[in-house]
Chain A
Amino acid sequence: MTTERRQNESALVCAAQRSDKEALQRLLTRNWPWLKGLVYSILGDADQVDDVLQDICVRVITKIDSLREPERFRPWLAVLARRMALRHRQRNARRPGLLSEEIAELQPDEKAQQLFEKIEQKEQCRRILQAVRLLPEKYRQVFMLAYAGDLTYANIAEVLDIPVTTVQIRLVRARRMVYDRVSGKKEVRCVRNEYDTGNA
Chain B
Amino acid sequence: MNMTQEMLEILIGKYLDGEITPSEQHILQTELDCNPKAKELLEQLQDLHERSCQAVASEIIERGKDTGEIFEQAWQRQAANPLHRVLKMNGWLRFAAGLAAGLIIGLMLHFVLPLISTTQSLDVPANIVAKNANNRMDAEQQTYPQPLINPAGNSLRNVDWYSFTDNQGNQWLVEGLRENTVRPAVYYGDL
Interfacial residues, chain A to chain B (CB-CB below 8 A): 19, 21, 24-25, 28-29, 32-33, 36-37, 40, 46, 49-50, 53-55, 57-58, 61-62, 65, 121, 124-126, 128-129, 132, 143-144, 146-148, 152-153, 168-169, 171-172, 175-176, 178-179, 182, 187-188, 191-192, 194-196, 198-199
Contact indicator B9/A179 (Cβ below 8 Å): no
Contact indicator A148/B60 (Cβ below 8 Å): yes
| 19 CB < 8 A contacts A-B | A25-B71, A37-B60, A46-B64, A49-B64, A50-B64, A50-B70, A58-B78, A65-B88, A125-B58, A125-B59, A126-B55, A128-B52, A152-B17, A153-B17, A168-B13, A169-B10, A172-B13, A175-B49, A195-B37
Q: Which residues, 35 to 81 on B, are CB-close (under 8 Å) to A?
A: 35, 37-38, 40-41, 44-45, 48-49, 51-56, 58-61, 63-65, 67-68, 70-71, 73-75, 77-78
The A interface is mostly helix, strand or loop, or mixed, namely: helix
Chain B contributes a number of interface residues (CB within 8 A of A) equal to 46
- Further 7 A-B residue pairs, CB within 8 A, beyond A124-B51, A147-B53, A152-B19: A25-B71, A50-B64, A62-B84, A125-B51, A144-B60, A152-B17, A188-B44
The B interface is mostly helix, strand or loop, or mixed, namely: helix
Interchain nearest-CB distance for B2 vs A (Å): 6
Q: How far is the CA of A49 from the CA of B59 in the complex (A)?
A: 11
Which of B14, B52, B70 touches A168 (beta carbons < 8 Å)? B14
Residue B6 is within 8 A (CB to CB) of chain A in the complex? yes
Interchain nearest-CB distance for B46 vs A (Å): 11
